[in-house]
Structure 1
């Protein structure tokens, strides 16, 4: 998005306003237009960023980001993910299902995860309510989503566990 027409319009409006004040005001307006150009661009970028933040809140889990390319902003739209197609039950003799996500083979992978601020606050509140770190809560949420709703809480974790976990089988 080219901000130049908007900045030029502001410069022209300042010149028109300064014409009413005489030659001294016109000269002052001409001297002020160059320093005001960067301030006007920054103000426009702040307004666009705030507007895209509001759009992102409405699109969640999709998003709209404002990126600066040279002097002009560029919008990057990330649509919400499309729902997965329905999977039918597997036939006898088909490959076995992958192991459940709660099996810990010790391997860890690190990712950077961008989350809208309003969802981050909700995730922090939910994690705190269950006595988990945000990371542990997110791992469990991803595992639950991928395993079709089977929720598990690792032993020794969770609200009021205090290390009083039980192991074994019950009949």
Structure 2
């Protein structure tokens, strides 16, 4: 395998992550609009993208293993692009590093957008809970008071001796 096949896998991963970022941006809009059915559809699309990303990443790993095998080098336990960068020369080194950096940038943007969506969803949930608490009737406490637990009666004892008799 040549570096071009690894580059192709990285480009495909970047495209998939950019597409996933587009979905995350759409989710932000739908969360703000409280469109549950639209969110449901986007979640299904997101699952399909995640499956494609996993498949492409396995293909990338296979390409890296094949590259190490063709070079006659020992294959690392979990081969990474950094392992390949450590053994290749220019101009492939620069191309591979740029592809890796583009992919990492897309992943960081996606992570930031997903964090925003998580915060928006949490705030929505807090608002729903607050609204429910305002509408829901409050039940009286069924616990005993301190005096009842300790056995102190709340009424005064009357004296049994009447001095005026």
Smaller-chain TM-score range?
A: under 0.3
TM-score normalized by structure 2? Answer: 0.27
Larger RCO: 1 or 2 (CA < 8 Å, sep 6+): 2
| Between structures 1 and 2, the one with greater strand share | 1
TM-score normalized by structure 1? Answer: 0.27
